[in-house]
Amino acid sequence: MDSKSAIGSNYLPMVIKKYPKRRNRKVQYNEENRIMSKRGRINVYLYKIPHKSIRYVRDLWNTLVNMRWRWLMLTVSIINVSAYFLFAELFLLDAWISGDFSETQYVDHKCINGVHNFTSFFMLGIETITTTGYGYFHPTENCTLVWVILTFSTLVTIFIDGAFISVVYVKISRPAYTINNSLFSKKAVICLRNGVLCLIFRINDSTGKHWIGSQVNLFLITQKTTNNGELLPNYVSELKLLPYGVLFWPTEIIHEINSESPLWNISAQDLLLNKFEIVATLSGSSVLTGQASKSQTSYLNNEILWGYWFSPCMSSNSAKCEYTVNKKKFDKTILLDTPLCSARDLNKIEKEIFKKSLSIDCLYFLTNCQTIA
């Protein structure tokens, strides 16, 4: 199966679109949907997952890490308040077993001093969980189960603090998906570069969030039919990139359309008629904080301009010995004379022209040799 049959379908791969404003929403299929938005959000929603709640409980760690901050803080609050109520009940039970509620109990022999009602026991539970010492409310050696309660409270405190501190640390240190509309160029172009058709887009990481270990990847998502007749609606193939160097200034990311490229058989007409999506990702670490981050965007076929190149947006100032970047020209394109045929057809034409020119040169050489002879 060649690359043309892989991209030759007139329909974009079916994508499950998420509608966030409606609860119990229906999942709709739309051939115009894009798998990834321009801002880098993946428009895929998992629908009708069997035993969804049980899976969240079984994989509790990943559930907490992927939880939104507001729900994580609510979960921490609920667990802490539940622990306060639990130890209030335990101290109340210990006081009842130790005879604090008996009318014949002496004040000096009471299990817990300073308590009068359940509110007092609740405050004692808060002091037990959050502090290392007691104030007005405190248990005494006259309690029967106080050593069990205090040992259990230590274990619960270690579990709550350790678990949620680890979750917060992982959430902060994991790669952040930054949303930056000015990071990638809005359009991609296909033009001739050194006699070869190339797919080009721009990256401008002016804040330095990806300067350490910068890595750019480009993927083509399209519909493909295998040799066995199996239809792959969202087939992903990686596009090889030329070395792009550093990202200190607006950089052009170039993919040469050669015989190994999935775009080898795509012409200007195919670009207008066939629907596919190209996903670009940029990952790296910040030079300021060292935090890893990842940004991404996508280009549909109608967002790729055939026969254009990007306008130069960087100029040098010899007086100040510095370079200036014009952000207004970052997305500006210039029309360029470009063949409308595919890279494969262009390669055939160039070979035929080369053969004809070679035959003419040989004929001219032979004619001169005969004349000399």
pLDDT for 147-158, tens place per residue?
888 889 889 989
Give CA 281 to chain center in angstroms. Answer: 8
- 1 or 146, greater pLDDT: 146
State how far the Cα of 178 lies from the Cα of 182, in Å rounded to an integer: 11
Measured from the Cβ of residue 32, the count of other Cβ atoms closer than 10 Å reads 10
Please give the mean pLDDT across all residues of the chain.
81
- Would you place residue 30 in the very low, low, confident or very high pLDDT band (cuts 50, 70, 90)? very low
- Is pLDDT at 120 greater than 70 in this prediction? yes
Residue with the bigger pLDDT between 60 and 344: it is 344
**pLDDT-derived band at 132, boundaries 50, 70, 90:** low
Task: Give me the residue spans of the domains in the chain.
Answer: 69-173, 188-340, 343-373
pLDDT tens digit sequence for 5-28: 445 444 444 444 444 444 444 444
pLDDT of residue 177: 58
Tokens at residue 31, please? Answer: 């051939």
Longest Cα separation, the chain = 140
Per residue in 53-104, pLDDT tens?
787 778 888 888 888 889 889 988 999 999 999 999 998 888 888 877 776 6
Task: Specify the pLDDT at position 255.
Answer: 96
**Residues 181 and 203: beta-carbon distance below 8 Å:** no
**pLDDT tens-digit readout, 245-278:** 889 899 999 999 999 999 999 999 999 888 899 9
User: How far is the C-alpha of 138 from the C-alpha of 273, rounded, in Å?
Assistant: 78
Which one has a higher pLDDT value, 158 or 135? 158
Q: Return the minimum-mean-pLDDT range out of 36-40, 218-222, 251-255.
A: 36-40
Higher pLDDT, residue 57 or 144 = 144
- pLDDT value at residue 17: 46
- Architecture of the domain delimited by 188-340: Sandwich (2.60)
| Domain 69-173: which CATH number of 1.10.287.70, 1.10.3720.10, 3.40.605.10, 3.40.50.740 | 1.10.287.70
Predicted local distance difference test score (pLDDT) of residue 103 = 65
pLDDT score recorded for residue 179? 57
What would the two tokens of residue 4 be?
A: 């043309």
Question: With 60 as the cut, is the pLDDT of residue 227 above it?
Answer: yes
For residues 111 and 140, the answer to whether their CB atoms sit within 8 Å is yes
Name the nearest CA neighbour of 301 among 227, 243, 223, 242: 223
At 258 the pLDDT is 92
Is the predicted pLDDT of residue 129 greater than 90, yes or no?
no
pLDDT at 219: 95
